Amino acid sequence: MSYLAVPLVIFVFWAVPAAPSDPLPALFVIMVLAACSAAAGLQGLSLALVECAALLLAVLRFMPDASPSYGIEAHAVRAVIAEAQQDSVQRRYRSVGFRATLVAAEDGEGMLSSASGSVYVISSQADAASGDRLYLPGRVSGPVFYADGAVLISRSLLSSIRVMMRSAIRERLSVHGEAGELALRLILGTGEWGMYEAGDAARMAGLAHVLALSGMHLSILAMIASRMLFFLPSKVREAAIVCFLAFFTFLSGMRPSLLRAFIYRLALRFSSSGEDGFALSALILFAFYPEAAVDLGAQFSFIALGGIFLLSGAIDEGIRTLLPIPYRVSSAVSSSMAALLFSIPLTVMAFGSYTLGSIITTMPANALVTAYMGVSLAVLAFPPLGIVMELLFMAVSAFFSLAAAVPMADDMVPYAVMAAASLFLAAVGSIRSRIANKVAIRVS
């Protein structure tokens, strides 16, 4: 039941903020629920809860205390030395943000103190790459450090090479304005100034996930690479695809959601089932990057994928039992319903509102993003294709604006209706599968 256990761990971190420092109450509640589920005959749920407790212990074993400790009073801090955990991400109002591990803190008199933990940095000037060690003058405000600037102390050779490659790609694409910025977002995970209108429309339409680098984008790249390398033997082609995806993950800054997808792809090569691979990818990611357990992108990635793996097949069976529609359409709708069933509670906790329109709009949005990524990569090799990318950007923007017309919801009634419909379809699909299996056994 790993498809359920991993999302449960994510929800524990949201429901119990004190879990990283005091996990015993959460573990006690989980084990009590597991015992009650076993007593009620719900063996699957009981096993999922036990696995959730084990995974939570494993995560906490690797996760240091995430709370920042400056060694001096927070209000006295005037600068910090920190190591960037991720590339800086463009924010509104000409500012950038990134998470960093604290190394030292400095007060107003220039005295340095050892510091630990992590902090989110917001700056109008800092441009950090993952692994950079920076001197950041500024001030502390709660869990955020507002930097007035940044001085690069050191940067590794690999980071230097990656920054140069990213700069070359940015220079090639930025000449195409907002169309180039969307291409940068889909290739590097970040764009420069602008594209706020299209980005806001995508968020309001519940389609922000198609712009945030994740496993979907790795799958798109794997498909493109597979078609380009069709002439190679299957094993050589698969090895080349893995290398290409590793390079893409490295180039885009080793984002947790991408790391999760890449590790999962590798885990499938050594695992007999997708469920084992899912749990293995979570353990490996949390072991090497424990902060991923509280990274919003990685959280949505795990939760949505868990929902898809757990329920999309049964929902799809239910849809095709009741409606004579093509498998491609029913599969897309069932995947969206399963992902939303799991992810909307987290969306409400994080943002306060949600939309159900993406159940219908995700499929065409995925098709547009697939085409856009392919054209964007082609533009890097053949710049005259930029005109095609700009025309396609107009289509993408228009689609996002149209999809955003579906109103947002801030209460749980629409979600409850959708959840009931999803579970009903899943039940219909499960019944149909059982009947089909019994018929097959009798025939054989």
* pTM confidence score: 0.80
Judge whether 437 lies within some domain: no
Residues 286 and 374 in one domain: yes
Q: Find the helix packing angle between 196-204 and 386-403, rounded to 10°.
A: 40
Listed residues 155, 180, 201: the one ending a domain? 155
Average pLDDT (191-204) is 66
Alpha-carbon distance of 331 to 310, in angstroms, equals: 14
Judge whether 160 lies within some domain: no
Residues 425 and 290 in one domain: yes
Residues 15 and 116 in one domain: no
Residues 248 and 358 in one domain: yes
- What pLDDT score was predicted for residue 133? 92
Q: Helices marked H in 323-412 — which ranges?
A: 327-351, 358-381, 386-403
Paired with 102 in beta bridges are 82
307: part of which helix (H) or strand (E)?
helix 296-322
Residues 189 and 286 in one domain: yes
Residues 23 and 114 in one domain: no
Residues 249 and 388 in one domain: yes
* CA 59-348-319 angle, 5° bins: 95
Residue type, 427: A
Residues 298 and 209 in one domain: yes
Judge whether 199 lies within some domain: yes
More confident residue, 379 or 349: 379
Range of the domain at 53: 2-62
Average pLDDT (32-52) is 72
99: part of which helix (H) or strand (E)?
strand 95-107
Residues 101 and 28 in one domain: no
Please state which of the ranges 131-145, 212-226, 273-287, 318-332 shows the lowest mean pLDDT: 273-287
> pLDDT digit string (tens) for 85-106?
877 776 555 567 888 888 999 8
Please state which of the ranges 6-10, 182-186, 365-369 shows the lowest mean pLDDT: 6-10
Judge whether 194 lies within some domain: yes
Judge whether 444 lies within some domain: no
- What pLDDT score was predicted for residue 387? 92
Listed residues 155, 189, 212: the one ending a domain? 155
Whether 389 shows a pLDDT value over 90: the answer reads yes
Alpha-carbon distance of 182 to 375, in angstroms, equals: 12
Q: How many CB atoms lie within 10 A of CB 431?
A: 14
Listed residues 155, 173, 204: the one ending a domain? 155
Whether 391 shows a pLDDT value over 90: the answer reads yes
Residues 107 and 246 in one domain: no
Judge whether 68 lies within some domain: no
Q: pLDDT band at residue 113, thresholds of 50, 70 and 90?
A: confident
Q: pLDDT band at residue 2, thresholds of 50, 70 and 90?
A: low
> pLDDT digit string (tens) for 287-323?
777 667 767 777 888 888 888 888 888 888 889 888 8
Mean pLDDT, the chain, whole residue set = 81
State the maximum Cα–Cα separation within the chain, in Å, rounded to a whole number.
Answer: 85
Alpha-carbon distance of 132 to 159, in angstroms, equals: 8
Residues 184 and 249 in one domain: yes
Structural domain count of the chain: 3
Q: pLDDT band at residue 1, thresholds of 50, 70 and 90?
A: low
Judge whether 39 lies within some domain: yes
